[in-house]
Amino acid sequence: MGSYIQEKIHKFEQFVDGHLKPQLVRVIAERDKVFEQQKIFSDLRMNIENLEKNSVTNLRTMVNLGSEVYMQADVPDTQRIFVDVGLGFHVEFTWTEALSFIALREEKIAGEIEEYTRLISSIKARIKLVCEGIRELLQLPAEKSLPQRVF
């Protein structure tokens, strides 16, 4: 009997360490990527709004050639902007078009983030559940105080 419990506990632990935790790490990393996207687009939106506010028609900027070597670049016409719409495609927009696209994009990204967050919490819940199962198998007293906290 004891050995059976031991085996069961071992299985549970393996499930947590070998499956759930790596999954959690992976999903968190994915969510971080989406966060980055969100930041990129919010930056872009702010920049475009800035251009609009100052009614900039041409632009001087520095281009990074790689390894932190920069060269001056000139943009004669800022009205047309090419925005990355995903999968390597860039669409030529005017400022207003770009802003509406960015709003849609941000909405989608927010949804994605929410989804990921839900996924993460569900994985965490599963980890918790398995840990509680192990605790039950070991017949430790802690389980009594915990039911209120169960999700």
For other proteins, which residue of 24, 83, 123, 127 counts as binding (CB under 8 A)?
A: 83
Q: Which is nearer to other proteins, 44 or 127 (CB)?
A: 44
Q: List the one residue from 70, 94, 100, 110 that touches other proteins (CB under 8 A).
A: 70
Q: Which helix (H) or strand (E) holds 81?
A: strand 81-86
* Cα(10)–Cα(134) distance, integer angstroms: 9
Q: Name the strand (E) or helix (H) holding 40.
A: helix 21-54
Q: Which range, of 8-16, 23-31, 77-85, 121-129, touches other proteins by CB under 8 A?
A: 77-85
Strands 59-64 and 81-86: unpaired
Which one of 67, 139, 145, 148 is in contact with other proteins (CB under 8 A)? 67
Binding residues for other proteins, rule CB under 8 A, total: 31
How far apart CA 90 and CA 78 sit, in angstroms, is 16
Phi, psi of 13 (to 5 degrees): -60, -40
71 close to 62: Cβ distance less than 8 angstroms: yes
66 binds other proteins (CB under 8 A): yes
Among 1, 68, 147, 149, binds other proteins (CB under 8 A): 68
Tell me which residues touch other proteins (CB under 8 A). Answer: 40-41, 43-44, 47, 59, 61-78, 80-84, 90, 98
